Amino acid sequence: MGIEIPPDHPRRVSLEIREKIIEGHQASIVATAGLLAHGRGEAFDYFIGEATTELAERATRAAVASMLLARSPVISVNGNVCSLVPEDLVRLSKLTNAPLEINLFYYRKEREDAILKALQEAGAERVLGTHDRPSETIPELSSNRRKVDPDGIGKADWVLVPLEDGDRTEALRKVGKFVVTIDLNPMSRTAVYSNITIVDNVVRCMPLMVKYAKEMRSWTRERLEALIKEFNNSDNLRESIQLIIENLKQRAGNEYIAKEAFN
Ligand code: PTJ
């Protein structure tokens, strides 16, 4: 780790996560824009209370249920998620038979190699989406992300796109894929266009997905379907924004400010 973070530092967890992203950037895993993306995520995490909310838990359960029911699920990997939770990506992939596919917005061969290495070090045996593999194109997508692996996103009916910019989700939906995203910003295009949006930090959400995948693997189809049926993403996003408003209102209260400032 770059700097020693005192164990009693009030912002220790957040600083440790930052260090992972900085190290990932130094190792070419994270794009320079990934540092900015992380900062935006940090701000939204502050607003939701830096903890997994009941709403996020519910969305996570529905997401895992849909993943277990999918014919051909796939986990899309970018620089930020690889630097933050490589082991959990591999664990979830193995538990659900969903391959990992590297799919980058800011593509550089050097980054692809660094991400592949990090995933392999975390235990991945097979990684899709690398330059030596065949590729096909997602129509209506002009960014570099249009290039996908025919054995991964190409043939998938279900795609996990953890934290990313909003151009791809719409395109994936248009070609009939079920999209699950993890995004701290409930107002992002990705959040709005996904089938299921988990408004949580990937560092908390990915281990939770692993936990639920272990637990729910033995469930019947009917039980999994029931979980998805009772989930509504528009309500989920509305309630997530409401939760942020309530948190801010509470913080704006006189009592809170007085306590924080003078105790
Ligand atoms: O590795 P690449 O080249 O594929 O590039 C990846 C980034 C993330 C740089 C690229 O997709 C991008 O520019 O994304 P955006 O448009 O900045 O969107 C990132 C979204 O993720 C924002 O809505 C952030 O609030 C959210 N976010 C950031 N960090 C986290 C997060 N959501 C969950 N957990 C986080 N740790």
Q: What is the CATH number of the domain that holds 163?
A: 3.40.50.12640
CA of 22 to the centre of ligand 1 (A): 14
Q: Is residue 10 part of a domain?
A: no
- Residue 100 in contact with ligand 1 by CB distance below 6 A: no
Angle between helices 109-121 and 86-96 (to 10 degrees): 70
Between strands 136-137 and 147-148, the pairing is: antiparallel
> How much of the chain exceeds pLDDT 90, in percent?
80
In a domain, 192, yes or no: yes
**How far is residue 2's CA from residue 93's CA, in Å, rounded to a whole number?**
30
Residue 66 domain-assigned (yes or no): yes
Q: What is the pLDDT of residue 4?
A: 78
Label residue 254 by pLDDT band (50, 70, 90).
Answer: low
Query: What's the CA gap between 180 and 158, in Å, rounded?
Result: 8
- Structural domain containing residue 106: 54-242
Greatest distance between any 2 Cα atoms in the chain? 62
**Mean pLDDT to the nearest integer, 212-218:** 97
CA 255 – CA 100 distance, rounded (Å): 48
- The answer to whether residue 230 is domain-embedded is yes
CA distance 199 to 182: 6
Mean pLDDT of the 141-161 span: 92
Question: Separation of 218 CA from ligand 1 center, angstroms?
Answer: 33
pLDDT score recorded for residue 82: 98
- Mean pLDDT of the 119-129 span: 97
Instruction: Locate the ligand 1 atom nearest the alpha carbon of residue 34 and give its number.
Output: 9
Is the pLDDT confidence value at 235 over 90? yes
Q: Is the pLDDT of residue 9 over 80?
A: no
Phi, psi angles (nearest 5°) of residue 128: -95, 170
Q: 46 CB under 6 A from ligand 1?
A: no
Query: How many angstroms separate the CA atoms of 198 and 12, rounded?
Result: 24
**Higher local confidence (pLDDT), 257 or 128:** 128
More confident residue, 257 or 239: 239
Mean pLDDT calculated for residue range 144-155: 93
Q: How confident is the model at residue 259 (pLDDT cuts 50, 70, 90)?
A: low
pLDDT at 261: 57
Under the banding of pLDDT at 50, 70 and 90, the label for residue 262 is low
Q: What is the mean pLDDT of the chain?
A: 93
Where is pLDDT greater, at 129 or 5? 129
**Separation in Å, CA 64 to CA 107, 156, 159, 226:** 29, 16, 12, 12
Q: Is the CB of 108 under 6 A from ligand 1?
A: no
- Contacts with 112 (C-beta within 8 Å, 6 or more apart), sequence order: 102, 104, 130, 131
Residue by residue, DSSP assigns 174-243 as HTT-EEEEE-S-TTSHHHHHSSEEE-S-HHHHHHHHHHHHHHHTTS-HHHHHHHHHT--HHHHHHHHHHH
Per-residue model confidence as pLDDT tens digits over 15-69 = 889 999 999 999 999 999 999 999 999 999 999 999 999 999 999 999 999 999 9
What is the predicted pLDDT for the residue at 252? 87
Give how many domains the chain has, as a whole number: 1
Distance CA 112, CA 131 (A): 8
- Give the C-alpha separation, 77 to 89, whole Å: 8
Residue to probe by mutation, ligand 1, list 15, 85, 163, most atoms within 8 Å of CB: 163
Q: What is residue 8's predicted lDDT score, i.e. its pLDDT?
A: 74
Q: Is 129 in the pocket of ligand 1 (CB under 6 A)?
A: no
